[in-house]
Structure 1
Amino acid sequence: MKRFSRAMGLILSVIMLMFVMAACSGNNNEKPSNSSASPADTAAGSDNAAASDKPAEDYAYGEDVTFHSNEPVKYSMMFSDNEGYPYKADWRIWSAIQEKTNVSFDLSVVARTEYENQKSLLVNSGDAPYIIPKTYDESAFVAGGQIVPISDYVQYMPNYQKAVKAWGMEDDLKAKMQANGKYYVLPGMWEAPGGGYSFVIRKDVFEKAGVDLSKETSWTYEDFYAAMKKVKEFTGAKYVFSDQSKGESTLNIAAVEYGVTAGWGKANGMRFNQDTKQFEFADNTQDFKDYVSYFNKLITEGIMDPESFTQEDDAAKAKFYKGDTYVINANYQVFTDIQTKMEDPNAQLMIITPPGGPKGQLQVENSRLENGIMISENALKELGEENFIKMLRFVDWLWYSDEGQTLSLWGVEGETYTKDASGKITLNPDITYNGMNPTATKKLNADYGFGGGVFAYGGTTKLRQSKMTDGEIDFNNRILNNRTARPVAPPIMATADESEQLNLISKPLMDYVSTMTLKFITGQEKIDNFDSYVKQTQANGSDRYTQMANDIFGKTKSILGY
């Protein structure tokens, strides 16, 4: 009987197990399997599964949901103190954030000019605050282990994930990946690239010289040259174009249209060939020869002032203000300032659409990423994972939700701005910001703390354009409607040792390239000697650098999706 009972028990157990399996199978038929979910979906699912096993959070969060902690919390944070709107403890932004979220900050306030040095000191010593905004380059901090690999945690940030998915930011974010396939900074993200820099011209003078500005959206650099040549012939001016920023901005934006690198954007001289999926050294090619030849023509024919590459900004601006020159490089904010300082009250200015070139009518700005936020390992160690995730969800709301971004930029509705039925934001008339209400006595950033560089960056095109004048909106729309977006090049995901080797090659190589760029342009070196220049770049390591870059890319391209 005992053996029989065991046998019967075994049989009954098998029958019950089969019944349970059948029931589970029935449930699976009602709810499709998630076996084909993407990594992002899987991460979100893991978050939800983990949440179901835990007590309810003591805070509210979610996509388009205001973060609010039931209990007051305080997070330590670095704060870059801009001398243009110095930090004040009683700024309205602090109480506005606290009223919404029940969160306050323990700030480490550092002068903007010392911010990078102090950041390095705090991070490397292990004393960094939890939240480290205004980070432009995080690569130096990765190896030290003091910064959280934040890509491991973004699944807990619903507003961040919403922006990535809705705006297709996946390729943009690959540019932040390190050699281990992770990224260590939460970048500010824009729905579309910004306008950037272009050329401010004396519209009235160009038109009097017979230049048809109705076609400027289709101009190439050769068309721009022809227009400036007409102005020179009409005015008899010594120079038409005298530049500020020592020519760095002009060299940068023109380089894009020639498929090379120079000026502010020279970096390592690399370009990525989207057809061959290989890196190339751009700055010793025929494209580069054509590029320096163009600017040499401007100098040789007296169109561009050779002092553009040596003079201080004030000298360049003074020539433009006086009417001695008729072209200067600027972004829209500087353009707005220039308009107020022209000595000729009848001067009419225009910021043209950045010209195209041999590589097409390309958008200069192709990155939609801004500086971003690093999170210190101290936050994870001291808060514990559960409260660390809570802090991330606060960061997610403040920097990545529409509500948080609008608060950081414009302040409190009814106090600093109003909004109509269409959602259009209007700054209160007694407050000035970004050229709006220029005679107002209060400043949105200096007096209230809103619209500052620590919090207010990233967001929708609508939010971005909300702080623009009609003229700036027109400038941005001309670019978006008449220029082709460029794909983002993949990063060279070098290890620390590989980065050191690359830097040892790149520094002297690019110093030589920069020196020779100006010599070719100004005529100190003849264009006829370009072949000798090419050989010297190769001797300085351009081929070795390119080979290393492609070897590294070959090892990491699967991570990047190539």
Structure 2
Amino acid sequence: MRSTTRRVIGLAAAGALVTGLAACDAGDGGNGDGDGDAVENLDGQRVGAMDDYGVGDTFVATEEVTFDLLYRDHPNYPLDRDWLFFQSLAERNNVQLDPTVAPLSDWDERRSLLIGAGNAPSFIPVTYGGQEAPFVASGAILPVSEYVDLMPHFQDKVERWGLQEELDSLRQEDGHYYLLPGLLEQVRPDYTLAMRTDVLDDLGVAEPTSWDEVREAFEEIADEHDGYPFSDRWEGQALLNYAAASFGTAAGWGYGQGVTFDHDAGEFLYTGATDEYRQLVEYFAGLVEDGLMDPESFTQDDDQALQKLSNENSYAVSTNAQELIGHRNTLDTAIGEGEYEIGKVLVPAGPAGDIIGGTRLESGIMISARAAEQDTFVAMMQFIDWLYYSDEGLEFAKWGVEGETFERSGDTGYTLTEDVDFVGLNPDGSQNLQADFGFFNGVFLLAQGSTHELVLSHLNEEEVEWQEAMAGKQQAPIDPPYPLSEMEREQASLYQNALNDFVQQSTLQFILGQRDLDTWDAYVAELEGMNMTAYVDVVNEAHQRFLQNN
């Protein structure tokens, strides 16, 4: 793995789209009261900036400028200074990038060390919501909400897509947000159950659309086939995550901070103690108890789960679009191509309704506080706005250069050029869109395209149909912000870690039948003894304080 290095890399832009300038007043287009106020005092920071830059404009620096960034080096596409990404931009945008390179394996630690030492580059991509919070109190990162008036494409998408509520969830105690998130026009789910649809067809069972129907399908499979109908992977964490929203709760990978907002009561509750969480646990405990789900689903490694699927000792497993391709390759070898069918079912509806979790905010960008002192600051914010938030910049970052890496197919389609491949779209291609050209790079493409059409543009027809069907489901409500002070964060962390560990341990015990669900009240009492109420009180007090101050 490369050691941390710095080197200037040329960047530039692709052709222009021309639409009207979208002017956004405070309170609109992604702004809360006071957002964008700081842009009035930047006369000394406009070197290279465009005087008239708006929605639909391509950013082209008026003179050559250099921006430094923290670059996450991915082993699947190691940084290459000769990438077409850099070459094509350098010819047209008049921008140079000076990266500090950190390997993926050391990314979080390296980022924290640089920010903590005051040595962070000007902008820091690949930062998820919440990861910026520890750096707010020190003043090391910029309250970017004060500067969004420099970013017309960002403001335009927030306003048109109705993202203000989700954006507000990033606000800190002072009312500002410190992260520019990747934006999605629609929630993009991916994880769900993969089921042997040929087995369902043989049994005359329709594809299930609810968790009750999933159980019924498993019962039919169990009556006719050996093994378990369902043996899962990822220690059940993906399963609990994508199932939880339809039960009105959060679990697994999505358990988060362990609090859920009760929109009727107007307060946060501790997630692992709610009736909704119990209902989720009871459902999967019932599957295990009745022999419909392999109890090893929560302890086995992934290879064991997939081996059971290929040996026909199970007929369902959690998956995503990319993993489904692997399942089919494995089953082709084990059973024979054309001798089976497997596919993603829609995430089932549950007691809370036909609801899916998720947010339309993706990983984003922190801006170092020192960047605002540089004479090229305005130009940098315009460049970030173009590359990460304009339709033109997003298309470029994803697909590359028309005629060299892709051709247009119809009004909205894309076809890779003859010798370029990506995720098997052009298997005969000898060059890879990421590794050989630098496109579809998570450092420069935060939300896989942002617009619904662009997000779907690299997916196969089957996955596009699945995504379109999922788009009809209701998105779970967004929890409001509860920004903690530094002292509160330290105290809450002590409570939260112990509580989360106990909830995860107890959830497994309940589901596997190692602890009787009749002891649920005793379990909640144990949470109380671990400062559950004190933790929730801290959260609710922070939420109320935020409402009063903002």
TM-score between both structures, scaled by the size of structure 2: 0.89
Supply the distance in 2 between the matched residues of 1:303 and 1:554 (Cα, whole angstroms): 45
Contact persistence 1:257–1:356 (CA under 8 A) = yes
Are 1:282 and 2:274 an aligned pair?
A: no
| 1:117 match: secondary structure | helix
Structure 1 stretch 137-146 or stretch 435-444: which is displaced more?
435-444
Query: 1:55, CA displacement in angstroms?
Result: 11
Are 1:546 and 2:536 an aligned pair?
A: yes
Supply the distance in 2 between the matched residues of 1:485 and 1:223 (Cα, whole angstroms): 21
Amino acid at match of 1:104: Q
| Equivalent position of 2:280 in the other structure | 291
Query: 1:270, CA displacement in angstroms?
Result: 1.4
2:459 to 465, 468, 479: 468
Contact persistence 2:419–2:430 (CA under 8 A) = yes
1:190 to 179, 184, 191: 184
Structure-to-structure mapping, 1:121-136, within 5 angstroms: 121-136=113-128
Structure 1 residues 98-152: Cα deviation after superposition (integer angstroms, max 9, x where no partner): 2231112111111111111111111111111111111121112112211111111
Supply the distance in 2 between the matched residues of 1:37 and 1:84 (Cα, whole angstroms): 42
Structure-to-structure mapping, 1:371-450, within 5 angstroms: 371-381=363-373, 383-384=374-375, 387-450=376-439
Are 1:531 and 2:521 an aligned pair?
A: yes
Supply the distance in 1 between the matched residues of 2:98 and 2:224 (Cα, whole angstroms): 61
Structure 1 stretch 183-192 or stretch 136-145: which is displaced more?
136-145
| Equivalent position of 1:362 in the other structure | 355
Supply the distance in 2 between the matched residues of 1:421 and 1:545 (Cα, whole angstroms): 55
Are 1:303 and 2:296 an aligned pair?
A: no
Supply the distance in 1 between the matched residues of 2:346 and 2:387 (Cα, whole angstroms): 34
| Equivalent position of 2:488 in the other structure | 498
Contact persistence 2:34–2:146 (CA under 8 A) = no
2:66 to 51, 69, 74: 74
Query: 1:313, CA displacement in angstroms?
Result: 1.2
| Equivalent position of 1:162 in the other structure | 156
Supply the distance in 2 between the matched residues of 1:102 and 1:312 (Cα, whole angstroms): 49
Are 1:244 and 2:210 an aligned pair?
A: no
Structure 1 stretch 150-159 or stretch 433-442: which is displaced more?
433-442
Supply the distance in 2 between the matched residues of 1:118 and 1:89 (Cα, whole angstroms): 21
Supply the distance in 1 between the matched residues of 2:115 and 2:156 (Cα, whole angstroms): 30
Query: 1:421, CA displacement in angstroms?
Result: 4.7
Supply the distance in 2 between the matched residues of 1:129 and 1:559 (Cα, whole angstroms): 32
Contact persistence 1:79–1:109 (CA under 8 A) = yes
Query: 1:556, CA displacement in angstroms?
Result: 1.0
Q: Can you give the 5+ residue segments of structure 1 that lack an aligned partner in the other structure?
A: 1-33
Structure 1 residues 523-551: Cα deviation after superposition (integer angstroms, max 9, x where no partner): 11111211211111111122222222222
Amino acid at match of 2:304: A
Greater helix fraction, Structure 1 or Structure 2: 1
Contact persistence 1:260–1:269 (CA under 8 A) = no
| Equivalent position of 1:16 in the other structure | none
Supply the distance in 2 between the matched residues of 1:266 and 1:55 (Cα, whole angstroms): 45
Structure 1 residues 175-218: Cα deviation after superposition (integer angstroms, max 9, x where no partner): 111111111111100111102210111111121122112xx3xx
Query: 1:499, CA displacement in angstroms?
Result: 1.2
Cα gap change, 1:340/1:48 in structure 2, threshold over 3 Å: closer, same or farther? Answer: same
Amino acid at match of 2:457: S
Amino acid at match of 2:517: I
Amino acid at match of 2:79: Y
Cα gap change, 1:132/1:57 in structure 2, threshold over 3 Å: closer, same or farther? Answer: closer
Query: 1:44, CA displacement in angstroms?
Result: 7.3
Are 1:328 and 2:334 an aligned pair?
A: no
Supply the distance in 1 between the matched residues of 2:284 and 2:356 (Cα, whole angstroms): 20
Supply the distance in 2 between the matched residues of 1:45 and 1:302 (Cα, whole angstroms): 61
Are 1:265 and 2:254 an aligned pair?
A: yes
Supply the distance in 2 between the matched residues of 1:134 and 1:277 (Cα, whole angstroms): 33
Are 1:89 and 2:78 an aligned pair?
A: no
TM-score between both structures, scaled by the size of structure 1: 0.87
Cα gap change, 1:37/1:550 in structure 2, threshold over 3 Å: closer, same or farther? Answer: closer
| Equivalent position of 2:19 in the other structure | none
Supply the distance in 2 between the matched residues of 1:59 and 1:170 (Cα, whole angstroms): 27
Structure 1 residues 31-62: Cα deviation after superposition (integer angstroms, max 9, x where no partner): xxx9x9747599779969988xx999567632
| 2:544 match: secondary structure | helix
Cα gap change, 1:287/1:152 in structure 2, threshold over 3 Å: closer, same or farther? Answer: same
Cα gap change, 1:377/1:49 in structure 2, threshold over 3 Å: closer, same or farther? Answer: closer
Supply the distance in 1 between the matched residues of 2:549 and 2:237 (Cα, whole angstroms): 34
Kindly, what percent of the aligned residue pairs are identical?
33
Cα gap change, 1:49/1:62 in structure 2, threshold over 3 Å: closer, same or farther? Answer: farther
Contact persistence 1:336–1:435 (CA under 8 A) = no
Supply the distance in 1 between the matched residues of 2:145 and 2:311 (Cα, whole angstroms): 52
Greater CA radius of gyration, 1 or 2?
1
Structure 1 residues 299-345: Cα deviation after superposition (integer angstroms, max 9, x where no partner): 11111111111111122112212322111101112112222221212
| 2:327 match: secondary structure | helix
Structure 1 residues 433-492: Cα deviation after superposition (integer angstroms, max 9, x where no partner): 1331233221100111101111123321011111111111111111112x1122211122
| Equivalent position of 1:210 in the other structure | 204
Contact persistence 1:78–1:132 (CA under 8 A) = yes
| 2:434 match: secondary structure | helix
Are 1:102 and 2:94 an aligned pair?
A: yes
Cα gap change, 1:441/1:490 in structure 2, threshold over 3 Å: closer, same or farther? Answer: same
| 1:116 match: secondary structure | helix
Supply the distance in 1 between the matched residues of 2:250 and 2:174 (Cα, whole angstroms): 28
Contact persistence 1:59–1:67 (CA under 8 A) = no
Supply the distance in 2 between the matched residues of 1:38 and 1:285 (Cα, whole angstroms): 36
Structure 1 residues 345-389: Cα deviation after superposition (integer angstroms, max 9, x where no partner): 212111000111111110222x001111111123223x13xx211
Supply the distance in 2 between the matched residues of 1:306 and 1:193 (Cα, whole angstroms): 31
Q: Can you give the 5+ residue segments of structure 2 that lack an aligned partner in the other structure?
A: 1-22
Contact persistence 1:509–1:542 (CA under 8 A) = yes
Amino acid at match of 1:509: L
Contact persistence 1:238–1:302 (CA under 8 A) = no
What root-mean-square deviation, in Å, do the aligned CA atoms of Structure 1 and Structure 2 show?
Answer: 2.3
Supply the distance in 2 between the matched residues of 1:50 and 1:519 (Cα, whole angstroms): 58
Contact persistence 2:420–2:426 (CA under 8 A) = yes
| Equivalent position of 1:485 in the other structure | 475
| 1:229 match: secondary structure | helix
Supply the distance in 2 between the matched residues of 1:286 and 1:421 (Cα, whole angstroms): 50
Contact persistence 2:231–2:294 (CA under 8 A) = yes
